[in-house]
């Protein structure tokens, strides 16, 4: 199963310098997993996003994509 949101599509939709935010404006906390149901980031990843460099943002994107394909516990 492919991730619902992924860096490849985000880069295609937002060309230009820098790594785009994974925010999809569906900000709802998943209390079971401790992250956002829309962008799959943890609260920590959301709070530090603007302070990360592009390499770190790509690491967050990799975790986001992995979270979407992990089997539900």
Q: Give pLDDT tens digits for 29-67.
A: 998 888 999 999 999 999 999 999 999 999 999 999 999
pLDDT confidence of residue 69: 85
Q: Which tokens in the block code for residue 67?
A: 């979270």
How confident is residue 71, by pLDDT bands cut at 50, 70 and 90? low
- The Cα–Cα gap between 19 and 30 comes to 25
State the number of CA atoms in the 13 A half-sphere of 38 facing the CB.
11
pTM reported for the whole predicted model: 0.87
């Amino acid at each position: 199963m492919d991730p619902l949101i992924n860096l490849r599509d985000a880069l295609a939709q937002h060309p230009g310098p820098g790594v785009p935010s994974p925010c999809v404006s569906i900000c709802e906390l998943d209390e079971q997993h401790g992250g956002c149901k829309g962008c799959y980031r943890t609260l920590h990843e959301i709070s530090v996003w603007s302070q990360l460099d592009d390499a770190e943002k790509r690491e967050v994107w990799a975790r986001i994509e992995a979270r979407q394909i992990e089997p539900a516990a």
